[in-house]
Amino acid sequence: MPMIVVVGMQWGDEGKGKMVDYLAQDVDIVARWNGGANAGHTVWVGQTKYVTHLLPSGLPQGKVCVLGGGMVIDPERLLGEIKDFDALKINTSPRQIMISELAHIVLPTHKALDVAKEAARGKNAIGTTGQGISFAYRDKEEGRGLEARQMRSPHYFGQQVHQLVELHNQELVALGSTPLDADAVANQYEEYAGYLGDHVCDTSAYLEKSLKNGKTVLAEGAQGTLLDKTYGTVPFVTRSSTTTESAPAGLGVDSEWVTRRIGIAKCFQTRVGEGPMPTEISDERLANRLRGEKDSPGAEYGATTGRTRRVGWLDLPLLRYAASINNLDELVLTKLDILSGLENIKICESYNYHSPVEKHIHLPIGAITNLYDCIPQYQDMVGWIANEIVCREDLKSLGLADSYVKKVERAAGVPVTLVSVGTDRNQVVARKK
């Protein structure tokens, strides 16, 4: 099993962090290939909560973690996460956390531009996380972004930071925003480079060598398929590639190594930010019931921004679309326990899109951008009582809830191999293939 790729099937927040931690038991290296601190991955082990935005979710299992060349890295946030793990006495040495020399660096001016641009969009705002992601990728595209390799020479890196901040400041002024102090940012980044420079290496060569030596790599995707810059609900998307085919490119390894593509989908859906969501639930009481109590483990409030997530029923046409785009081998469902106790569960089987869409066809790719015109057609399913899902070390069973899982499995056209039924690492039911 050389390389396993794990991606989100929806708009992020599918519970990838927990499932990567679970799957990491059997791998040697966990590597992230896309996005930046816009992600928020939460792992619970007993009473300990680990939240990461940049670090792959393999550290709680003591696995080597790689931040790949397709990522955009905010050094301040990364150092904060490393400090948090240090405090928990988890190994964060440069051999344990490796940063690709090709990853790009996020500056505070990228974040300021992100915020200013969103404000300028007015009612057409995307609802970005404000983490500077789109501007860091823009600078990469335009050939003026800063690469992590430059951090190996902190003083020179500081000078490059100074130059780019001054350029960004002109843009900020044009947008009516306050420019940042280029000297202060440059000094700060020189200091960050001093801490992070030793972690920077040729991770592509490291991964290739490890794979050749029989090691297993788990590639952990951030965000979800419907936020992909090409295949997502454009323009309400992030600026990175979130699908399985982008993993080897973002890590700089041969795509031939990929042997297992796993999609993670939540049993209902959530979205933060703007953009279409056909199955959104307008009944606030029901939506709040699915969100869970604020501050309770797994509650549907953004791990990065704290924003209340929009909530909807599971959308099978979109799930089929995501399964097909990602060429999935397996599907993992999360948060089945949250549906327990509901008398009636709705599941979207098809859309009425101008004329009715046939039930079992893939969503027409063109329609992904026209989701506002899609009227969901629901099937009502009878719920199950909470204690039908049993999940103890010695006894794991989904009871009647398995009929829901079977329905999703049939619709997606790929086997559901694992079902998560709680926040803890052990609350996973493995289904027979």
Nearest to 418 by CA among 2, 3, 4: 4
Report the site for ligand IMP in 61-80 (rule: CB under 6 A).
Answer: none
Report the site for ligand IMP in 189-228 (rule: CB under 6 A).
Answer: 222-223, 227
C-alpha 115/C-alpha 117 separation (Å) is: 6
Nearest approach, Cβ of 216 to ligand IMP (angstroms)?
Answer: 25
* 242 interacts with ligand IMP by CB under 6 A: no
* 236 interacts with ligand IMP by CB under 6 A: yes
Report the site for ligand IMP in 257-276 (rule: CB under 6 A).
Answer: 272-273
C-alpha 114/C-alpha 107 separation (Å) is: 11
- Residue with smaller CB distance to ligand IMP, 109 or 128: 128
* 134 interacts with ligand IMP by CB under 6 A: yes
* Site size toward ligand IMP, by CB under 6 A: 21
- Residue with smaller CB distance to ligand IMP, 67 or 272: 272
Report the site for ligand IMP in 98-127 (rule: CB under 6 A).
Answer: 126-127
C-alpha 298/C-alpha 313 separation (Å) is: 17
Residue 65's beta-bridge partner residues? 30, 97
Is 181 labeled as catalytic in the residue annotation?
A: no
- Residue with smaller CB distance to ligand IMP, 13 or 220: 13
CA torsion, points 313, 315, 316, 322, in degrees to nearest 10?
-140
Tokens 């992904």 found at: 368
* 33 interacts with ligand IMP by CB under 6 A: no
Among 44-52, 76-84, 235-243, 329-337, which window interacts with ligand IMP (CB under 6 A)? 235-243
Tokens 């970005």 found at: 128
Residues 6+ apart with CB under 8 A from 48: 88
Among 129-137, 139-147, 192-200, 277-285, which window interacts with ligand IMP (CB under 6 A)? 129-137
- Residue with smaller CB distance to ligand IMP, 124 or 159: 124
Nearest approach, Cβ of 396 to ligand IMP (angstroms)?
Answer: 29
Is 41 labeled as catalytic in the residue annotation?
A: yes
- Residue with smaller CB distance to ligand IMP, 272 or 323: 272
* 42 interacts with ligand IMP by CB under 6 A: no
Six-digit token pair at 381? 């399913």
Among 131-139, 200-208, 293-301, 377-385, which window interacts with ligand IMP (CB under 6 A)? 131-139
* 11 interacts with ligand IMP by CB under 6 A: yes
* 238 interacts with ligand IMP by CB under 6 A: yes
C-alpha 319/C-alpha 362 separation (Å) is: 9
- The pairs formed by 285-291 with CB atoms below 8 angstroms and a separation of 24 or more are 287/311, 289/342, 290/338
C-alpha 37/C-alpha 33 separation (Å) is: 12
Six-digit token pair at 433? 């293939």
C-alpha 56/C-alpha 66 separation (Å) is: 7
- Residue with smaller CB distance to ligand IMP, 157 or 291: 291
* 418 interacts with ligand IMP by CB under 6 A: no
Nearest approach, Cβ of 126 to ligand IMP (angstroms)?
Answer: 5
Nearest approach, Cβ of 52 to ligand IMP (angstroms)?
Answer: 11
* 129 interacts with ligand IMP by CB under 6 A: yes
CB 242 within 8 A of CB 8: yes
Is beta strand 64-67 parallel, antiparallel or unpaired with respect to 29-32? parallel
Nearest approach, Cβ of 115 to ligand IMP (angstroms)?
Answer: 10
Q: Which of 21, 26, 41, 337 is catalytic?
A: 41
Nearest approach, Cβ of 137 to ligand IMP (angstroms)?
Answer: 9
Among 188-196, 232-240, 292-300, 387-395, which window interacts with ligand IMP (CB under 6 A)? 232-240
Six-digit token pair at 197? 């420079």
C-alpha dist (Å) from residue 168 to 93, 144, 164, 175: 33, 11, 6, 11
Catalytic residue numbers, as ranges: 13, 41
Contacts with ligand IMP, residue ranges (CB under 6 A): 11-13, 38-40, 126-129, 131, 133-134, 222-223, 227, 236, 238-239, 272-273
